[in-house]
């Protein structure tokens, strides 16, 4: 039986990012335990006018829902527009309990940064998706209110597959924007080709092929030196299947909160070459990955990668971490519900 307390999680848009995928997994995990639902404010193709219009409509709908409820409704906001919507609702009515969920420490614009760092301080409670995000927001080390936003159904069913039979040498899963390292993909390919004189097979999974980096042109440019396969807007289950077909996961991101795709890659038996982002230090052994500190000077021993590609230690540690993590998230949500109930 679900809890009577209604929890509504507001997110900007239903794109295939870590926040959105995590929310859907959370909803699936928690649906039999609490009344938890996601509301996306706008769609990917909406212009600015439609985004504002839908945000105003959502505020009206939430206030209308509240008139029918005797108890406080918990609203969780993720990302900048969701924070604005919750801030306005909080001004209009004190019948909502606002939880601001912070997911990042790098922002695309000054406006986004202001919303996420200043406006969210008016929330009843602030939670963070990782220790790194929390430390950045609070300007000090903090272990409280950290909710690693990750769920993976049936983690124990994942097994390390035969690494040598995997189709792709590399896999990159990232939105086609600068902060996720898409501008560095070409640098990485050039580095690899010049150092190892090989023709690697690279799979890139992204949300679009042209927006910031024209990946289709990149594919044509390297067609004789690197066999690039492009996949656009596929669901998370398909992404997991592609991880099982890939040897090495490349993360060139400049910033991550939890770093969901790093964990998914590890659980599907991939070796990881990554920038030092996300929560990986909590479940990865330092010697079982290759860190990129400078994309122009990265130095990776491919022979060594082949030797430790099938890494049971990393796999078991990551699996244990995430099994505990799912229960932590459930416990945190239940504590919040109790807190709201006690405060009326």
Q: Which long-range contacts (CB under 8 A, 24 or more apart) does 63-66 make?
A: 63/89, 63/92, 63/93, 65/6, 66/93, 66/95, 66/96
The predicted model scores a pTM of: 0.73
Instruction: State the architecture of 6-153+323-342 in CATH terms.
Output: 3-Layer(aba) Sandwich (3.40)
Please determine whether the domains at 6-153+323-342 and 161-310 fall in the same fold group of CATH: yes
Q: Give the separation between CA 152 and CA 155, rounded to whole angstroms.
A: 6
Contact 208, 216 (CB under 8 A): no
State which residues of the chain have pLDDT below 50: 1-3, 308-310
Provide the pLDDT for residue 100: 93
Q: Calculate the CA 18 to chain-centre distance.
A: 2
Q: Give the separation between CA 231 and CA 281, rounded to whole angstroms.
A: 29
Q: Give the separation between CA 156 and CA 143, rounded to whole angstroms.
A: 27
What six digits make up the tokens of 176? 């086609």
Query: Residues near 260 by Cβ (< 8 Å), separated by ≥ 6?
Result: 18, 21, 22, 150
Provide the pLDDT for residue 1: 41
Q: What number of residues does the chain have?
A: 344
Give the domain ranges of the chain.
6-153+323-342, 161-310
Instruction: State the architecture of 161-310 in CATH terms.
Output: 3-Layer(aba) Sandwich (3.40)
SS (H, E, C) 190-250: HHHHHHHCCCCEEEEEECCCCCCCCHHHHHHHCCCCCEEEEEECCCHHHHHHHHCCEEEEE
């Amino acid at each position: 039986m679900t809890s009577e307390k209604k929890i509504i999680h507001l997110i900007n848009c239903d794109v295939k990012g870590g926040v959105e995928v995590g929310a859907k997994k959370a909803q699936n995990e928690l649906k039999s335990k609490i009344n938890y639902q996601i509301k996306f404010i706008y769609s990917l193709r909406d212009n600015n006018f439609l985004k504002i219009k839908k945000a105003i409509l959502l505020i009206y709908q939430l206030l209308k829902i509240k008139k029918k409820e005797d108890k406080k409704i918990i609203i969780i906001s993720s990302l900048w527009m969701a924070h604005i919507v919750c801030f306005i609702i909080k001004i209009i009515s004190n019948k909502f309990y606002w939880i601001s969920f912070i997911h990042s420490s790098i922002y695309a614009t000054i406006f986004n940064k202001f919303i996420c760092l200043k406006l969210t301080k008016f929330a009843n409670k602030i939670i963070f998706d990782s220790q790194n995000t929390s430390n950045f927001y609070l300007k000090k080390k903090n272990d409280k209110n950290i909710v690693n936003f990750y769920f993976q159904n049936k983690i124990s069913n994942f097994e390390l597959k035969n690494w040598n039979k995997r189709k792709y040498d590399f896999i990159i899963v990232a939105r086609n924007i600068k902060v996720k390292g898409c501008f560095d993909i070409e640098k990485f390919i050039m580095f690899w080709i010049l150092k190892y004189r090989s023709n690697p097979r690279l799979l890139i999974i992204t949300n679009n092929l042209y927006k910031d980096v024209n990946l289709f042109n990149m594919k044509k440019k390297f067609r004789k030196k690197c066999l690039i396969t492009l996949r656009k807007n596929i669901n998370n289950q398909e992404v997991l299947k592609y991880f099982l077909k890939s040897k090495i996961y490349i993360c060139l991101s400049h910033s991550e909160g939890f770093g969901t795709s790093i964990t998914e890659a590890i659980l599907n038996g991939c070796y990881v070459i990554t920038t030092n982002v996300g929560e990986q230090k909590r479940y990865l052994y330092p010697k079982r990955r290759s860190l990129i500190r400078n994309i122009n000077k990265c130095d990776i021993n491919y022979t060594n990668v082949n030797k430790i590609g099938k890494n049971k230690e990393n796999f078991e540690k990551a699996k244990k971490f995430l099994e505990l993590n799912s229960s932590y998230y459930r416990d945190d949500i239940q504590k919040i519900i109790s807190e709201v109930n006690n405060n009326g």
